[in-house]
Structure 1
C-alpha cells in the first residue's frame, strides 16, 4: 500500500493541475449560448416554414431564391459598423451596453413578421426580415466577440465551438417547437415568428445582471492563477479602442478567413434553403414533417463544433479547417439520397452535421487569434459581412431548380448540391495556400504562400 506521504504528494500534484477554464467563463458561455440560440432561431424560422410561405404567396423557385438571398445577405450589411461601434462602447462585460439594443432589434422585427396585417403581401415579409437580419448580424459579431473576451486565449477554440453549438442545437429545439406550433395552429406559418422570439426577454435580463465588472475581474484573476492568458485586460474595457478595417484586411488570415466563411455560409444557407423544399416537393413529406426532419443534422452539428473547436486548440486552426472543408465536400453530394427513406435522411444529416457548423467557430478562432487587442469586434464584423455575402447561394440554387424543371423536379436540386460542394473545395484550397497557423506546434512553422509576419505571427 502507498504511504501517507506518497498519497499526500499525489494529492498535491492532482490539485495543482489547472482547471479547464474559470467558473465565470462557463457562466458567461451559458448565457451567451442562449442569447445566440435566440438570434440564430430568428433567422432559421423562415427556412423551416418555407414550403408554407411558397404556397401562401405562390412563389416560384427563382423568386424564392432571390428573396432568401436578399434577406440573408442583409445580415452582414451593417456588421462592420455595428461591431466597430460595439468596440467603442466597451469590451468584455461592457459589451452588454451595445448588445442589448441589438438583441431588442432582431427580436422586435421577428415578432412583427408574425403580424398578418404587416405581412399580407410578400414585400412586407421581406422588409421585416431584412431589418431583423441586419440587427442579427451585428448581434452575432458582438456575441462571438464577447465569448472570446470572457475566455482565455488557450481555450478560445473550444469556447467559440461550444458557443456556436447554439446554432445547430438551439435551432434543433426551435425546429421541433416550430413543427409543434404549425400543428397546433393548422399550418399558420406566422405564429412561430410571433411566439418564439419572446423567449429571449428573461434570458437577456438575467445576463444583464451577471455581466458586471466584478464578475469580469474575478474571471481575469482566476485565469491568471490558472496560468492562462486573458484575451483583454480590465483596463482596456473602457479604453474605447477601435480596429482599423484596412489594417485588419491586410492580414491574410483575416481576409482569407473571411472568404472561407463566405463560402461556408454559401453552403450552409444553400443547404437550409434546399432541404425542406426537397423533402416536401420531391420526397412528398407534409410541411410540418419537412420542418421537423430537416434539422436532424443539428444533432451532430453541435457535437462537431465543440469537438473540432477543442481539437483546433491542439492541432491548429488550419489543419482542422482542411479536414472540415474536405469532409463537407463529400457530405453535400450525399444529400441527393436524403429523400429515399428515413435511414438515408437521418444518416446523411448526421454525417454532414459533424462539420456543417464547425467551420465557423474554427475560422472565427483563426480570425480573432490574428486580430490585435481591442479590435476583436471589428475583425468579427469584417468576417460577418463577408460571411453573409455568401448567402447569395439561394439565387443560384433557385435558378438551377427552375432550370431543372421547378420545385417538383429532381434534377435541379442535384445540380445545386454539386455547386455547394464546389464551394467547399475552393475554401479548402484557400486555407491550404493563403493562411498561416496561429496556435499549436506548427505555429509559425507551417508552409504557405504568405509570410507569417503578414499574419501577425512573430
Structure 2
C-alpha cells in the first residue's frame, strides 16, 4: 500500500485514539455523581476537569519532542497507560485530592502526550488538506463526548460513579494501546505524489518558514494567536465543563435529559471541527475564525434569556460548533504560521492558550453560580471574549496583508 493511501488508515487510527482521550469532555456527566460520592462542592469537583486541561500542555510539549526521536507510536502506547490509568485510579477516590491526582494530573498528562502525537503527526501527512485533516483528527477528540455521556450515565446508574471510572479506565488502556500500533511516523517534508504547494497569496496564512519553539516565542504574532485561542476556547470550555448542571439548572430537566443535551453539544463540537477545518482550507483560517467568534458570541449571550430546553440546547450547540471549529483550525494555523516541521512542540506551547481557557471558563462559571445563584454574568463575560477574538483576528489578518504586500514590493524591486 502506498503512503498516499496508507495515510488515511493512520488518520482513522488517530481518530479512534482521540475518541478515547476526548472522553474528558464528558466531565459534566460525572460532576454531580462525584459531588454526591465525595461530598464536595461543585467548584471543587470542577477543579478536576480544570487540572486535566491545565497539565495537558506539559506533555503535549514534551511528547512532541520525544516523538521526533522515537516516533509517535511508542509515545501513544505509553500514553495509553497514563490516560487510562488515571481514569482507573479515579475509581478509587475517597477524597477530592485523590481525584485531582488521578483524573486531573495523571489522566491530563496522558491526554496531552497522546494528543500531541495524533494531531501533529497526522497533519504532517496531509500538507494538501491541513485544515480538513486537523478538523477530522480533533473531531475524534470531540466525538468522545458524544458516545461517553449516555453510556456513562447508564453505567453510573447501574454500578455507581467509582466502578464506572474503573471500567472506563481499563477499556481506554486496551483500545489506545492496540490502535497505537497502526500509527506511523510522517516522513520529513512529506508531499503526496502529484501535489505541489500553492503559491502564497495576500490573504494566505502560510509563512513558508519553519520556526522552532524559540523562534516562535520571539515572534509577537505568537502571543496574539495565543490569546485568540484562549478567546475561542473560553465559552466552549465553560459550557462543556458544566453542561449537565447548567442544562438542569436553567431548563429544569432530569439528569438523563441533560445527558442527551451533553451528547448533542458534543455532536456539534465534533462536526464543527470537520466543517470549519474544510471551510478554512477554502476561505482562509482568519475569515473562518471571525465568523466563528461572531456566532459563538451571539449564541453565548442568548443563553442568559433562554429557558426552554429545545432552544437552550440549540444555542449551546452553536457554541460547541464554533468551539470545535477553533480547536480544529488551530493545529493547522500553527503549522501555517510557524511551519509543520516543529508543529508537535509548537502546537503544544500554543495549546497553553487552551489550558488557560480551561482554567478560567469552568472556575468562572462555578464561582458566579455560587455567588449569584445563576450563570447570567458568566454567559455575558464569555460573549465578550468572542468580541476580543474578532479584534485580535483582524489585527493578525491586517498585519499579514501588509507583510505580503511589502515582500511583493521587495521582489519587484
Place the TM-score, normalised by the shorter chain, in its bin: 0.7 to 0.9
In structure 2, the residue matched to 1:73 is 54
Deviation of the 1:286 alpha carbon? 3.1
- 1:138 maps to which of 113, 125, 128: 113
Shift of 1:95: 1.7
Does structure 2 conserve the Cα–Cα contact (< 8 Å) formed by 1:137 and 1:384? no
Q: Does 1:27 align with 2:9?
A: yes
Q: Is the 8 A contact 2:301 2:379 kept in 1?
A: yes
Shift of 1:357: 0.6
CA distance in 2, matches of 1:332, 1:428: 15
Matches within 5 A, 1:57-96: 57-89=38-70, 94-96=71-73
- Displacement, 1:98? 2.0
Select 1:432's aligned residue among 359, 380, 394: 394
Unaligned stretches of 5+ residues in structure 2: 198-209, 408-413
The residue number in structure 1 matching 2:31 is 50
Q: 5 Å matches for 1:104-183?
A: 104-115=81-92, 119-129=93-103, 130-151=105-126, 153-183=127-157
Question: Which is helix-richer, 1 or 2?
Answer: 2
Q: Is the 8 A contact 2:128 2:195 kept in 1?
A: no
Matched, 1:391 2:358: yes
Question: 1: distance between equivalents of 2:406 and 2:269?
Answer: 32
Report if aligned partners of 2:13, 2:183 keep a CA contact under 8 Å in 1: no
1:266-325 alpha-carbon deviations (Å, 9 max, x no partner): 222211233211233443333343333223122232222212111111111111111111
Greater Rg over alpha carbons, structure: 1
Q: TM-score, normalised by structure 1?
A: 0.77
CA RMSD of aligned residues (A): 2.9
Assess if the C-alpha contact under 8 Å between 1:75 and 1:137 holds in 2. yes
Contact 1:76 1:389 (8 Å CA) reproduced: no
C-alpha contact (below 8 Å) 1:107/1:197 kept by paired residues = yes
Structure 2 CA distance, aligned partners of 1:167 and 1:427? 23
Which of 283, 306, 329 is equivalent to 1:315? 283
Q: Which runs of 5+ in 1 are unaligned?
A: 1-20, 230-241, 438-443, 454-458
Cα 1:387/1:322, change in 2 over 3 Å: same
For 1:322-374, what per-residue CA distance to the aligned partner results, in whole angstroms no more than 9, with x for missing partners? 11111100111223356x33322332233333312101121221101122353
